[in-house]
Chain A
Amino acid sequence: SQKIEQNSEALNIQEGKTATLTCNYTNYSPAYLQWYRQDPGRGPVFLLLIRENEKEKRKERLKVTFDTTLKQSLFHITASQPADSATYLCALDAGGFKTIFGAGTRLFVKA
């Protein structure tokens, strides 16, 4: 069955450093991959979408890579700030109206 994995351990980094989060998937070849941010007790908010024929996508301090050979996406936040502390979810299209979500990685940025 389709499986998506994100690092379940929280990531702690110092303000100003680059945070890198990993998303691995198996048994599937998605046409695109999305990243969402979720704050405690709130709904996820869309950040970036990258298609299978794109290797990299950027938006301000955010960068996403998509390696369909390794079946992996990396999500980078450069010059991280305490306000970036949240849970980040990786999501893959599963065809039609279905999307598979990872459990998310919690990021803590220390001032």
Chain B
Amino acid sequence: DGGITQSPKYLFRKEGQNVTLSCEQNLNHDAMYWYRQDPGQGLRLIYYSQIVNDFQKGDIAEGYSVSREKKESFPLTVTSAQKNPTAFYLCASSRGQLGSGNTIYFGEGSWLTVV
């Protein structure tokens, strides 16, 4: 079945360490996204990519980096510059521009905890 696969489900980061969250989709969607979810807050957009080799900063991009070398893959790196990285991270995709009424498909999420 088509969908979005995120890995790992649980990840622990030590102070000063960079970690990378994987996201793969087989929905043949052009657009992909990374959101962060904290308790009591709505999802916040970190980065998004409209097409391969292109990506744009979202509302909270500081301390994060992404790449989009393949249509299916959109990995997120949480760098040591992100001072409060403990959160639930969600990867998502859509067929096209959301303003056209396209819906967002989400992965199962990854929990990142700083130890």
Contacts and interface: CB of A to CB of B under 8 A. Distances in A.
B60 interface: no
A21 interface: no
Interface string A12-48: 0000000000000000000110101000011111100
Nearest to A30: B99
Interface residues of A, number: 27
A98 B45 contact: yes
A4 interface: yes
Interface stretch (B14-22, B64-72, B104-112): B104-112
Interface string B87-106: 01010101001110101111
A97 B97 contact: yes
Nearest to A46: B103
A103 B45 contact: no
A51 B41 CA distance: 25
Among A8, A36, A96, the one with the most B-chain Cβ atoms within 10 Å of its Cβ is A96
A46 B104 contact: yes
B34 interface: no
B42 interface: yes
A86 B58 CA distance: 27
Given A97-B50, A101-B42, A102-B42, A43 B106 contact: yes
Contact of B41 (A31, A46, A93, A103): A103
Nearest to A99: B98
A34 B43 CA distance: 14
12 contacts: A34-B103, A36-B104, A41-B109, A43-B4, A43-B90, A43-B108, A91-B104, A96-B97, A97-B98, A101-B42, A102-B42, A104-B42
Interface of B: 4, 31, 33, 35, 40-43, 45, 48, 50, 56, 58, 88, 90, 92, 94, 97-99, 101, 103-109, 111
Interface of A: 4, 8, 31-32, 34, 36, 41-46, 49, 51, 89, 91, 93, 95-104
